């Protein structure tokens, strides 16, 4: 019998787990649940005899992948797959997938919520500013960037985007202005919301050269990954510019150093962009359906290690 492991250090909402189990039961698969584990060895043990695995930000390291003797597919229920050792998966002939777009609205709503929180003096009662009429730059226009654009336009923001991988017309048709370079995005927009993945090209790429270009009362919103920020440069911006704000759902390593910049810095204690019941159901059920289609029909749509 095909055995599928749901390994979630940060568990899905109950409705998502129930839905996933139902899909696997109907397919004749057995579901094994490993939630809230703190020791990576628990994952290494749990993966030993399963055919497929669903994860969130859980780390599918080489050690985990090699421990999965029967493992054929790993699906990351979510967008970013920087937590999977793709080279190790490919070497072992294991298919890795993500579920693009399934949790993007949850992340986008949080990004706008964070913008409002910073603009309104951290909800402490002081006078703030409005988002209406302000320029918002989206660094990348994937599912999350697009969803942020839709909501931001509802706030009356003037939305710009830079994404070299998306045709210009696909962005402008949404009423979003396209800039020609990432530098132009930063020099144009008071708000910049980050939606790029963490990879060898993007790590530490948000640096002083970009941040220092931002207009007065600059605010950067990071609901993407902490690794994309150059943290020394981030600290430099805080000390050099009294008007600079940074709000994050992916706490930087230098979190403790930034706490002194009250009202200009905020980070959630734990990443919660995709922490909604809806996002868990969307991404979890998509992951389960992708596994069933792959095991039964060899369907490799959404494979990321090609
Ligand atoms: C993603 O890449 O999909 C988001 O960062 C959400 O990650 P999570 O499932 O670990 O909350």
pLDDT, tens digit (0-9, with 9 covering 90-100), for 15-41: 999 999 999 999 999 999 999 999 999
146 lines ligand 1 (CB under 6 A): no
| pTM value surpassing 0.75 | yes
Q: What confidence tens digit (pLDDT) does each residue in 63-116 have?
A: 999 999 999 999 999 999 999 999 999 999 999 999 999 999 999 999 999 999
Q: What is the CATH number of the domain that holds 64?
A: 3.40.50.720
**Residues whose CB is less than 8 angstroms from the CB of residue 36 and which lie 6 or more positions away in sequence, other chains included:** 8, 9, 10, 11
Cβ 29 vs Cβ 4: under 8 Å: yes
Place of tokens 């020099």: 187
Do 229 and 253 have their domain in common?
yes
252 lines ligand 1 (CB under 6 A): no
Do 254 and 284 have their domain in common?
no
Q: Which residues of the chain have pLDDT under 50?
A: none
Tell me, in angstroms, the distance from the centre of ligand 1 to residue 197's CA.
11
Taking the CB of residue 226, how many other CB atoms lie within 10 A of it? Answer: 19
User: How many separate domains does the chain show?
Assistant: 2
Tell me, in angstroms, the distance from the centre of ligand 1 to residue 251's CA.
14
Query: Is there a domain that residue 303 lies in?
Result: no
Q: Which residue's alpha carbon is at the smallest distance from atom 5 of ligand 1?
A: 80
Do 83 and 110 have their domain in common?
no
Q: Locate 204 and state its tokens.
A: 């530490």
Q: 165 is in which domain, residue-wise?
A: 104-267
Query: Is there a domain that residue 302 lies in?
Result: no
Partner residues linked to 247 by β-bridges = 221, 266
Query: Is there a domain that residue 305 lies in?
Result: no
284 lines ligand 1 (CB under 6 A): no
DSSP state of 10: S
Q: What is the mean pLDDT of the chain?
A: 98
């Amino acid at each position: 019998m095909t055995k599928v492991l749901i390994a979630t250090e940060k568990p899905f909402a109950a409705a998502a787990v129930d839905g996933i189990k139902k899909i696997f039961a109907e397919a004749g698969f057995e579901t094994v649940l490993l939630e809230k584990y703190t020791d990576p060895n628990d994952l290494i043990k749990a993966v030993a005899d399963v055919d497929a695995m669903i994860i969130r930000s859980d780390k599918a390291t080489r050690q985990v992948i090699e421990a999965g003797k029967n493992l054929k597919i790993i699906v990351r229920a979510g967008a970013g797959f920087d937590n999977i050792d793709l080279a190790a998966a490919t070497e072992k002939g294991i298919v890795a997938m993500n579920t693009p777009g399934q949790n993007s609205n949850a992340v986008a709503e949080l990004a706008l919520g964070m913008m409002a929180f910073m603009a309104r003096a951290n909800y402490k009662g002081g006078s703030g500013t409005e988002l209406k009429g302000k320029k918002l730059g989206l660094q990348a226009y994937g599912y999350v960037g697009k969803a942020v654009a839709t909501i931001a336009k509802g706030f009356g923001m003037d939305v710009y985007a830079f994404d070299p991988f998306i045709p210009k017309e696909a962005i402008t048709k949404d009423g979003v202005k396209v800039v020609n370079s990432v530098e132009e995005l930063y020099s144009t927009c008071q708000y910049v919301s980050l939606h790029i993945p963490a990879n060898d090209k993007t790590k530490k790429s948000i640096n002083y050269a970009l941040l220092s270009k931002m207009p007065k009362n600059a605010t950067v919103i990071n609901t993407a990954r902490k690794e994309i920020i150059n943290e020394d440069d981030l600290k430099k911006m805080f000390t050099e510019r009294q008007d600079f704000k940074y709000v994050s759902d992916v706490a930087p390593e230098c979190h403790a150093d930034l706490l002194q910049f009250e009202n200009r810095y905020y980070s959630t204690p734990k990443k919660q962009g995709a922490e909604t019941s809806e996002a868990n159901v969307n991404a979890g059920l998509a992951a389960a359906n992708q596994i069933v289609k792959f095991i039964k029909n060899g369907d490799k749509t959404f494979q990321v290690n090609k």
